[in-house]
Every structure is written in C-alpha cells, then in structure tokens.
Amino acid sequence: MRLTILMPGLAAAYALGLAGPLAAAEDHYDYALPDEIEWGEGPDFIEPGAELAVLAGNPAEGAFTVRLRLPEGYDIHAHTHPDPKYLTVIEGAMHIGHGAELDKSDGIRIPAGGFVEVPAGHTHYEWFEEETVLQVHMGAPIVVDYVDPARDPRN
C-alpha cells in the first residue's frame, strides 16, 4: 500500500522538473512501511526464486529504487551494467566479488546495514548464503549484460 502525505513548498520543484514525476499541483511525498511493501515475482534477468518490490520509479524507464528478496543459496553470475548501481543490504547479507566468473572463494560479505556502489561497466557477481533483502537504486533504466550469455536467464 502506498501512502501519500501533502506537503507545502514542493510545487516549484515539480513544475521545474527537479522532483519526481508528479503534477505540479500535487505537493506531497510517498513512502512505504515495511509491512506494507508489495512483493511480486523477481525480474526476468535473474534466476527464478527472487522477489521484487518497486519502491519508486520504473526500472525499465529511468531512475528507480527497488527491493529484491533473495533466498538462501541464490547466485547472480558475472555481469555488468552501463550505469552505476547502488546496493544497501536491508536484511541478511550479500557476498559480492568481481571478475568474469562467480568465485565464492573471493569476494566480500556485506552484512545488513552495509552499502556497495558498483561503478558503471564493472564486472561483478553476487551470492547469498542466507535469505537477504537488498535495496537497489539506479539513476537510469536497468540493463544487465552477462559475461557468459549461457548464464543469462533470458536465453
């Protein structure tokens, strides 16, 4: 469920295009409480089993913030993005490494509360040894290019 609260003083920012895609007359902000976030099927560019919740924006069209819930034992193989990706671990822990092959002997564990900025074009992979919730933000539509096309779930 999405809740909206009216807030004065933002009309000029919306009218000038400096704030979200809301009409200039709608001075407000949106928020989602943890127990009201609506989860759905994960995106097609990662293996089945993940769940996705869109918090803001549209990953196919532009800047966005989403949450991914990933089960224990989940892997995301080596890939790149043409734009930077910002990850915050909300619950659980993420392991992240870099290189052309997923290598669980190399990488770093990022616990809940941790943050990672993945630069544009950087080859990286993630794996999850426990159920984990990640918050992902990108400033452009998401594009995922797998190093090994055979590892791309869309193929």
pLDDT tens across 4-33, in order?
Answer: 233 333 333 333 333 343 333 456 778 888
What pLDDT was estimated at residue 28?
Answer: 73
7 with 70, same domain: the answer is no
6 with 43, same domain: the answer is no
The CATH number of whichever domain residue 133 belongs to comes to 2.60.120.10
How far, in Å, are 50, 78, 95, 134 from residue 71 at the CA level?
A: 7, 18, 13, 11
CA 60 from chain centre, in angstroms, equals 12
The answer to whether residues 143 and 81 touch, using CB atoms and an 8 Å cutoff, is yes
57 with 96, same domain: the answer is yes
24 with 50, same domain: the answer is no
Mean pLDDT score, 145-150: 97
Q: Specify the number of domains making up the chain.
A: 2
26 with 54, same domain: the answer is no
What pLDDT was estimated at residue 30?
Answer: 81
For residue range 78-135, list pLDDT tens digits in order: 999 999 999 999 999 999 999 999 999 999 999 999 999 999 999 999 999 999 999 9
CA distance 127 to 63: 25
| 48 conformational bin, left if phi > 0, alpha if psi -120 to 50, beta if neither | beta
For residue range 25-76, list pLDDT tens digits in order: 456 778 888 998 999 999 999 999 999 999 999 999 999 999 999 999 999 9
Residue type, 147: V
Q: What is the pTM of this model?
A: 0.81
**Domain that includes residue 79, residue range:** 39-151
What pLDDT was estimated at residue 27?
Answer: 64
What pLDDT was estimated at residue 126?
Answer: 98
13 with 52, same domain: the answer is no
Closest to 66 measured CA to CA, from 76, 75, 56: 56
44 with 105, same domain: the answer is yes
Q: How far apart are the first and last CA of the chain?
A: 34
